[in-house]
Chain A
């Protein structure tokens, strides 16, 4: 098992060892069932021979192991882990402990040397009768594959069948365009994506782009497989060329746009998004893509500015509420929340002002109010909350209005632990009486509950509520006063 470094280097540097080519890979892997018998019988054979050096050992090409010719080839083929690994199919049948001289005569490659023939062995006797002349070890790559291919001359159907069984065989034989297309059609007709892809790889390698594209355009199944394949391997360039050729402009645009996800650097990502603007997206998407670009552009400016402010330590809001994460690549609504949190009162002219964001991205009123409310409530800036819902009419009267409905306002305030006085104020603004009563009860706004019951003249409910307030509290007292008031005409 021990290999010297020299061996390895010899392998890597020797021109004899061609880079392993995919197509010519040996095909016997899947025939192991048949060969297993052969392997097993050989194991017994070797085991028995352990202490019997006279017994001639036979390697997989049928040569007696240890013969001179064998040893030479063996040395040549002693090729380091890569080569060793790729061949010794049948090594499994030998456990090293059983091998008498593992480092010399019985080095590993002796067993894989002829492995390429394994599949054609039906039994040990086959192996023995095989001609010992062929040398496989030094040229594990293409020659043997070609040899087999040409000698057997697989038909179209056979080739596809072999591919399906996971045996890889050379497709180089298919030279003319017509042959190649027939091969593709045969592959498509068996529906095996793996085979279709294999043939497509071959066509991609051996046909010019123009011809490949042209032929696939009329072969939709194969075309879809090629698109999927190009996506898988990330060959963005060819994919875009293909879409362009097919005039599938929207897919082209989307596929180009998808690439931005792989770009980490914000400035580079921004520049990339800029190249997406103007691509042939659908009308609605065009606006979104433009917004995406503008948003990131803004975020980069805001981020740089705020990081600076934060580290300078002079700005109160950043001191009191250090930023949890960068704003880069956050969604628009999150960015708006951030702006409402850190930059609420800025003049409209700045990039980070919430109003500016609202206008630039045409954020609907509802969305804006919700977000601003959540941000200001979180900071317990009740004054801002108040201002958010106060509108002045032309006479100068103020009025409270909420585009999202005051019940939602109350829920958001409660979620942000607003004090009861504040909650109460907004619960009172809920128009639907039942909903008002529900919310008031849920959030323990006693005054609202009590007053509402009084207004509804609902004595029963008020009495029931008396049990829910603290004994001896001001609320209890208030309820008692109301209950005993002679001025109210209770409905029950």
Chain B
């Protein structure tokens, strides 16, 4: 059912099965028929680990979305709320429960907090007088959700803000817990590396948790060789730039949520003869994107400019395969052909979909505005004109382009200049406040606190040093047959991934100077293994490194790590974990001050 999770070096289906088991156990605790009331945000992540059929097997008969006032009628014995521990959701739940009491036969209420119970939320329920109405109040520690054979995410959209703005360590604690679960299933990870304040804390928590569990020795043979913990604020630059891989662009333009994307339906209308006059579908086309689809696995991480040629080659192969039917003469040959038909049909459908998506993306990437924006980004990243007011940004504000787009560019400029000159910053601030509203003073302060938009201090711009030492800008980039990770941004090599690459070879000692410039400590810890579990590596066998991005990761960075995994002589294969899959837009959005 989720075979693609077991394709990689680490079989993530083991984790999926473990979390499914836990879900079943909880459902069985509430005996009898059930209705689940969903915090809508959770339905996406849950969809990755369980289908409705699983819930149905455990007597879930109805499902609702959490909203105010009364619950819809349902002839069930149990009402279970599946929610994130958030105060505003508690208010809604209380409203549901209170309006329920006044009518009809009473039902049993339960709450399942995902990923954790929160004392604060329970206090709120108590204040609202409903805490006692719940029979089971439990937590479901869905910390790390398997997204693909080499990808795990906590899908915690507030994690960056909590860690870097509020200094609330709760999501770090969840990250540490998720890592403990992983180690329970896949063995102790013998070496931990890290860079950044949050990374240091997660490592500390892990070591402490391990000490506390000394009673039970982990006897699982270790699958991972290394863990690399990276703070997002060590590399604020990368997510701000527009991703240029196929998957990255789909995410930038349409937004991938829990591995699904919604696309405008026009391009996907069935083109059958005689039906040309038929009405176009109006509902968005929803597609699942993961490596279970052969073609997608092949093109997702390519630079978009290299996707077209792959698609056309595929088209030829498939046409040729269908032509084979004319050569099938004997019964045996025909039989063989027919047996391959389903596979061919699927391949054709997949090709048709991705051709349509590629067309949609091409419409955007060939537009004048996209080109202008990319030019400005590339100038900034290669260090050109980062210290003065940029004309294009000015024009974007004047034409009231979306605020997020403007902020993303201004922040990029700030990061590539180690902070803007005070005069430049003041100018942008005034333009932004006058055009988008004064209340964004608060947004600008959040960005400042996160280090994304600030004034240069001490008049020193460190970015050129970092850029040169880590070779972040590559002029001769090969998009078709890449030789370096910089292909994912057509020239810019993501800083975070460069750090991972340099760690595996030749080691961080070679870049001590840059590591000192970047924020937060860097460190190394060892978790000793009993002799029986120590690995004897076969010659030529790759190491497996888990890279955990605290505060979010982009698809382009994942693509860059996959590129490194596939290198002949790379020596390391990567599995990626993160608090949230994100892009520059969703990231800035999470920091925006929202009017009530």
Which residues of A does B touch, CB under 8 Å? 1, 3, 20, 22, 25, 29-30, 32, 36, 81-83, 85-89, 91-96, 140, 161, 163, 166, 168, 190-198, 201, 221, 224-225, 227-229, 231-233, 254, 257-258, 260-262, 284-285, 288-289, 291-292, 295, 329-333, 361, 363, 366-367, 370, 404, 408
B205 contacts A232, CB within 8 Å? no
Known contacts A89-B135, A194-B116: A331-B441 contact under CB 8 Å: no
Judging by beta carbons under 8 Å apart, are A85 and B134 in contact? yes
The reply to whether B429 and A284 contact each other, CB–CB distance below 8 Å, is yes
The 8 A CB mask of B124-135 against A (1 = contact, 0 = none) is: 101001111111
Bound: A330/B132 CA distance, A? 45
Q: Are A85 and B442 in contact (CB under 8 A)?
A: no
Q: Which residues of A contact B87 (CB under 8 A)?
A: 232-233
Q: How far is the CA of A329 from the CA of B118 in the complex (A)?
A: 36
Q: Mark B561-573, 1 if CB is under 8 A from A, else 0.
A: 0000000000000
Q: Are A191 and B133 in contact (CB under 8 A)?
A: no
CB atoms of A363 and B434 under 8 A apart:
yes
Contact with A along B342-368 (1 / 0, CB 8 A): 000000000000000000000000000
Say whether B106 contacts A292, CB under 8 Å. no
Q: Provide the bound-state CA to CA distance between A99 and B109, in Å.
A: 20
Q: Kindly provide the distance from the CB of A469 to the nearest chain B CB, expressed in whole angstroms.
A: 25
In this complex, the member of A20, A85, A285, A332 whose beta carbon has the largest number of chain B beta carbons within 10 angstroms is A85
Q: Which residues of A contact B445 (CB under 8 A)?
A: 254
Task: Give the total of B residues in contact with A, Cβ under 8 Å.
Answer: 65
| B31 and A224 within 8 A (CB) | no
Interchain CB contact under 8 A, B398 and A81: no
CB within 8 Å of A: which B117-169 residues: 117-120, 122-124, 126, 129-139, 162, 166-169
| 6 further A-B pairs in the complex, CB-CB below 8 A; given A29-B137, A30-B138, A82-B130 | A81-B101, A86-B134, A224-B168, A260-B439, A292-B438, A329-B437
Say which residue of A89, A163, A192, A333 sits within 8 Å of B136 (CB atoms). A89
In angstroms, how far is the closest chain A Cβ from the Cβ of B117? 5
Q: Which of A93, A229, A260 is the one whose CB lies under 8 Å from B120? A: A229
Interface of A is mostly: helix
Q: Are A257 and B441 also in contact (CB < 8 A) when A22-B126, A86-B133, A92-B29 are?
A: yes
Task: Flag if B442 contacts A257 (CB, 8 Å).
Answer: yes
- CB closest chain-B residue, reference A291: B438
Complex-state Cα separation, A228 to B163, whole angstroms: 11
Closest 3 pairs (CB-CB, A-B): A86-B132, A193-B170, A292-B438
B371 within 8 A of A: no
Are A232 and B120 CB-contacts (below 8 A) given A82-B129, A85-B133, A89-B136?
yes
B136, B172, B426, B433, most chain A CB atoms within 10 A: B433
Look across to chain A and name the residue whose beta carbon is closest to the beta carbon of B32.
A95
Task: Please tell me if the beta carbons of A191 and B135 are within 8 angstroms of each other in the complex.
Answer: no
On whether the beta carbons of B170 and A194 are closer than 8 Å, the reply is yes
Minimal Cβ-Cβ distance residue in B for A157 = B212
Give min CB distance, A292 to chain B, whole Å: 4
Q: Tell me, in angstroms, the Cα distance from A130 to B162 when the chains sit together.
A: 46
Q: Which of chain A's residues has its CB closest to B100's CB? A: A81
User: A261, A361, A367: which contacts B398 (Cβ < 8 A)?
Assistant: A367
CB distance from B78 to the nearest CB of A (A): 8
- Minimum CB–CB distance from B114 to chain A (whole Å) comes to 13
Closest chain B residue to A260, Cβ basis: B439
Min Cβ gap B525→A in Å is 16
Q: Could you say which residues of chain B place their CB within 8 Å of the CB of A93?
A: 31
Given known A92-B29, A367-B434, contact A258–B442 (CB-CB < 8 A) = yes
Q: How far is the CA of A395 from the CA of B437 in the complex (A)?
A: 42
Cβ–Cβ contact B169 & A91, under 8 A? no
A166 to chain B, nearest CB (A): 5
Question: In whole angstroms, what is the CA distance A333 to B434 when docked?
Answer: 6
Contacts of A197 in B (CB 8 A): 118-120
A191–B30 CA distance with the chains assembled, in angstroms: 32
Minimum CB–CB distance for A239 against chain B, Å: 13
Q: A88-B135, A92-B29, A228-B167 are in contact. Are A284 and B426 (CB under 8 A)?
A: yes
Minimum Cβ distance to chain B for residue A100 (Å) = 17
Closest A residue to B86 by CB, please name it. Answer: A232
